[in-house]
Amino acid sequence: MPKKTKKTTTDTATLTAKDKKTLGSIRGLADDVVQFAERGRAPYVDVPSRSLSNVRFNQSKRIIEMGTGKNRRELFNLAQARSYMQTLLVGTGCKQLIEQGKTTSIRGLFYLLKHTIEGTSEETFDAQDECDPVIEDMEVTLDAMREELHLYAKNAGAMVGPITLVDSGDQIDCSRMGSGGYSIPSIVEPEIVEFKKHTAKFVLHVEKDTVWRRFNEDKFWRKHNCILTHGGGQPPRGVRRMLHRLHYELKLPVYCLLDNDPWGYYIYSVIKQGSINLAYESRRMAIPEARFLGLRSDDYKRCQLSPSVQIRLNEQDTKRAGQIAQYAWFAHKKPWQKEIELMIENGFKLEVEALISKDISYVTEEYVPARLKEGNFLD
């Protein structure tokens, strides 16, 4: 690994089995560099390609997966030397975090690694947007989640409901978290967040915190014995991983209440099949059994909504809807094709908040309970 000029702490921590595995992968990468040098060969690193051309939809698993394509980074290739150095440097930083039993944000890692290379005026990283893709490259190269590299992002989601868990040693009753709920952390792996007991029958995931607050204030989760979550729009990795664990470990169905627009459809596809950008993590985040509860394109007439709640589709909306309709996981599903076609035919989109025009608690007291009773979901 490249030598750093910054002073580092040498304290070591007790490693978990997962830490040892990840650390072994990082050391294996470093050992390869040493072996290349000892044999007089040009050092290189093969990084799995994260391009669209290397992504496919696995029909049997119903998730997005990466293919086998790789990109080679060579030390003695002038066009690749910088990215090669940065790749090993990120590995060095993550090794340091794991050995010390500490975590940091992706922003923190950027500053930990940023310095002027000795004897030059060259910076290791000019900006964070140069560092972030290398972190993702390290994930796919080591087959380790960012969280396993002891890296986290800001919290952007909440949860409330009849479940008790232990977070970093602290027991938390998610039915007693007040108006703000339990803030879902970026790292929710079992060694950090442990599920203790619950009585929930399902998980209701809503798109935005504004809608989530309506459900929480109306104590929907208590009346219907469920866990209520939100992801602040596009759910971050911590929220998606939490939903994945709730579904697979606690065997809870996941229902999604999202806006009736291309963005809402896309959010659902990410929760259900995974995302193209994070195809390498689909097996630990995607939930093929998730169901789309609403909002639906026929709800405007079904719920007798006012014309004033319509938001006209623009050219970009229509184009995006067409792209989503062609996704491999939607292309052959007639209900979804009908749903998207009807939205385009309507010429407008709807936010979940539009239901407030009926009554402040219409969404919690009538709309969602009726959908749940009917079992009328989109797959």
Q: Is 320 exposed, middle or buried (0-12, 13-18, 19+ CB in 10 A)?
A: middle
Q: How far apart are CA 349 and CA 297, in angstroms?
A: 8
- Phi first, then psi: give them for residue 167, nearest 5 degrees: -115, 110
Q: Which two tokens stand for residue 207?
A: 């798109």
Which DSSP state fits 14?
Answer: P
Nearest to 201 by CA among 137, 133, 247: 247
Nearest to 88 by CA among 54, 117, 53, 68: 117
Residue the block writes with tokens 């992504």: 55
For 174, the 3-state DSSP assignment is coil
84 carries an active-site annotation: no
Q: Residue 116 CB: number of other CB atoms within 10 A?
A: 11
Q: Which two tokens stand for residue 137?
A: 């490259």
For 78, the 3-state DSSP assignment is coil
Q: Which two tokens stand for residue 370?
A: 């009726």
The answer to whether 278 and 285 are in contact (CB under 8 A) is yes
The answer to whether 297 and 342 are in contact (CB under 8 A) is yes
Catalytic residue chosen out of the listed positions 111, 265, 268, 300 = 111
Q: Which two tokens stand for residue 266?
A: 């896309």
- Phi first, then psi: give them for residue 236, nearest 5 degrees: -70, 175
Exposure letters 169-190 (e unless 16+ CB within 10 A, then b): eeebebbebeeebbebbbbbbe
Residue the block writes with tokens 């939205």: 343
The residues annotated with a catalytic role in the active site are 111
